[in-house]
């Protein structure tokens, strides 16, 4: 009896080891087939190959955001457009924090993938899920209760207050969908796959357009319909990411014992996620101050800024793609201890950013007013001329913006997320100064120079910070042998 039991136990042990080896080998093959190792090969080729799908994803995100704005502006009028636009800064404050936290969570995962530690990768993923659930629940409840008071503090004009509240409340209720998509797409990108989230965004953008037309035009839901369409579309993207991960990535299949919450893993994730989220939020505080000042200029000024910002955000998508690419590039190469590749990647990406910045400035200088007219259904030439002025001034400083995204996200990918908070503070101070001092004196022109001032101040901190952290990593790796 005892001997038979020992034999069975031995066979079980052998079986378990065989399954583990097969699973490990399969995970390795899956990683090679569907993920992208950015620790070897031409940095320029890798950055282009990784960033182009990301760029398409960001463009589609902005596309269905623009569809909301176009349909609202065309079908519901200037006041409805201004109502949605007046929530932009507080939307960025909260949703930006959610996205930043999720992007920060992905950085330790990229480190584990670069080091080929797949078990550690799955353990971090499990704790990432627990943290995301907690963050989503707390933030949804808090923001839903406080959003009306926030709009009041921002001096939102009375003629657009109801639309602003209706729109932003639904967006805040949809925070779990934001966490679902951004957490899962961040995990997929951390192992080098930037194409799959793009495909799901394409599908969801089509759904968003359909829902916009149904909710606003057919169901007469007003600006609430635009918010519902955005939330539902993002939720669909998240579900598709989950289904894809389950089917295509064996190395991401979390086992029962790996689901156990681990405080050290949560601390590592929060150490990256919270600073990155705060970076967005601290930056957005300056935007909230600036938006408050814009609100004092009247609903016409709010509508011009809203239209210009929608166009500008579309043209800024390449900078977002470059930044996200450098976060993954930096994370994987630090995990593989290949610090010599960091500078090579930085030079390649900055070159791309400069070339694109010059081209974007030319396009917006020539066609800025025509692009803004997509969002404004009015014969008032002042609205379009004001929107064009903001676009020209902002695009003239796109090179500093490119550096902000590239350098900041590279630093975060290298594992120094807390420094991003200080860069966010620089932007916050600059926009706060513009809102409190420049706008009261120079009016709308002061609004136009707020973002360029913020980008320049952030670069003044980030460039020396990058040199410092690179030297710090070199010294720590030398000491470790």
pLDDT tens-place string over residues 268-290 = 888 878 877 877 777 777 777 88
What pLDDT does 293 receive? 85
Q: What angle do CA 258, 261, 267 make, to 5 degrees?
A: 115
How many angstroms separate the CA atoms of 217 and 190, rounded?
40
d(CA 137, CA 90): 19
**Which range, of 137-151, 246-260, 391-405, averages the lowest pLDDT?**
246-260
Q: What is the pTM of this model?
A: 0.67
Per-residue pLDDT, 351: 93
Counting every residue written for the chain, the total comes to 481
- Computed over every residue of the chain, the mean pLDDT equals 81
Encode pLDDT of 420-434 as tens digits: 778 888 888 888 888
Query: CB atoms < 10 A from the CB of 17, how many?
Result: 10
CA gap 165, 435 in Å, rounded: 22
Q: Are 134 and 266 in contact (CB under 8 A)?
A: no
Highest-confidence segment of 9-13, 16-20, 220-224: 220-224
Rounded Cα distance, 401 and 111, in Å: 27
Nearest alpha-carbon partner for 306 in 15, 66, 124? 66
Lowest mean pLDDT among 28-32, 143-147, 171-175, 284-288: 28-32
pLDDT of 65 reads 67
Contact present, 67 and 209 (Cβ < 8 Å):
yes
Alpha-carbon distances of 298 from 73, 152, 156, 311, 448, rounded to whole Å: 17, 15, 9, 21, 16
Distance from C-alpha of 96 to C-alpha of 284, rounded to nearest angstrom = 8
Contact 287, 439 (CB under 8 A): no
> What are the residue ranges of helices labelled H in 115-194?
118-153, 158-173, 175-190
Q: Is the confidence at residue 472, as pLDDT, over 80?
A: yes
pLDDT tens sequence across 129-161: 899 899 999 999 998 998 888 888 878 888 888
C-alpha 333/C-alpha 324 separation (Å) is 14
Residue whose structure tokens are 């919270």: 274
pLDDT value for 18: 36
Q: Residue 296: count other Cβ atoms within 10 Å of its Cβ.
A: 14
What percent of the chain lies above the pLDDT cut of 70? 89
Q: How far is CA 113 from CA 160, 185, 328, 429, in A?
A: 48, 15, 10, 37
């Amino acid at each position: 009896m005892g001997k038979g039991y020992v034999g069975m136990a031995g066979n079980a042990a052998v079986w378990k080891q065989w399954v583990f080896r097969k699973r490990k080998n399969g995970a390795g093959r899956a990683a090679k087939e569907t993920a992208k190792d950015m620790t070897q090969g031409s940095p320029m080729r890798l950055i282009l190959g990784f960033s182009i799908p990301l760029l398409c994803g960001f463009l589609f995100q902005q596309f269905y955001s623009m569809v909301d704005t176009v349909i609202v502006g065309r079908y519901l009028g200037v006041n409805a457009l201004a109502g949605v636009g007046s929530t932009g800064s507080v939307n960025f404050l909260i949703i930006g924090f959610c996205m930043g936290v999720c992007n920060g969570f992905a950085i330790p995962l990229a480190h584990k993938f670069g080091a080929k530690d797949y078990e550690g990768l799955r353990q971090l993923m499990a704790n990432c899920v627990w943290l995301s659930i907690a963050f989503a629940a707390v933030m949804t409840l808090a923001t839903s209760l406080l959003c009306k008071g926030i709009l009041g503090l921002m001096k939102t004009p009375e003629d657009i207050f109801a639309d602003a509240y209706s729109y932003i409340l639904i967006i805040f209720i949809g925070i779990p969908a934001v966490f679902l998509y951004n957490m899962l797409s961040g995990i997929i990108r951390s192992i080098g796959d930037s194409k799959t989230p793009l495909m799901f965004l394409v599908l969801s953008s089509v759904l968003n357009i359909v829902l916009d037309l149904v909710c606003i035009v057919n169901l007469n839901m007003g600006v609430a319909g635009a918010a519902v369409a955005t939330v539902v579309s993002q939720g669909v993207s998240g579900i598709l990411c989950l289904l894809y991960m389950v089917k295509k990535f064996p190395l991401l299949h979390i086992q029962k014992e790996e689901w156990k919450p681990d405080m050290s893993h949560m601390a590592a994730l929060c150490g990256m996620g919270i600073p990155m989220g705060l970076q967005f939020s601290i930056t957005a505080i300056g935007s909230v101050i600036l938006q408050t000042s814009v609100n004092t200029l009247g609903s016409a000024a709010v509508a011009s800024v809203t239209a210009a910002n929608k166009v500008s955000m579309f043209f800024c998508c390449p900078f977002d793609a470059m930044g996200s690419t450098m976060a993954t590039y930096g994370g994987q190469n630090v995990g593989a201890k290949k610090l010599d590749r960091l500078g090579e990647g930085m030079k390649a990406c900055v070159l791309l950013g400069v070339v694109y910045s010059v081209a974007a400035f030319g396009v917006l200088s020539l066609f800025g007013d025509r692009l803004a007219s997509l969002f404004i259904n009015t014969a008032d030439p002042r609205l379009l001329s004001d929107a064009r002025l903001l676009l020209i001034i902002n695009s003239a400083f796109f090179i500093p913006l490119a550096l902000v995204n590239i350098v900041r996200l590279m630093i975060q990918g290298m594992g120094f997320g807390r420094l991003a908070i200080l860069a966010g503070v620089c932007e916050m101070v600059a926009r706060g100064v513009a809102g409190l001092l420049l706008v009261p004196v120079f009016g709308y022109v002061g609004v136009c120079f707020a973002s360029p001032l913020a980008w320049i101040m952030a670069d003044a901190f980030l460039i020396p910070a990058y040199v410092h952290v690179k030297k710090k990593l070199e010294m720590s790796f030398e000491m470790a042998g």
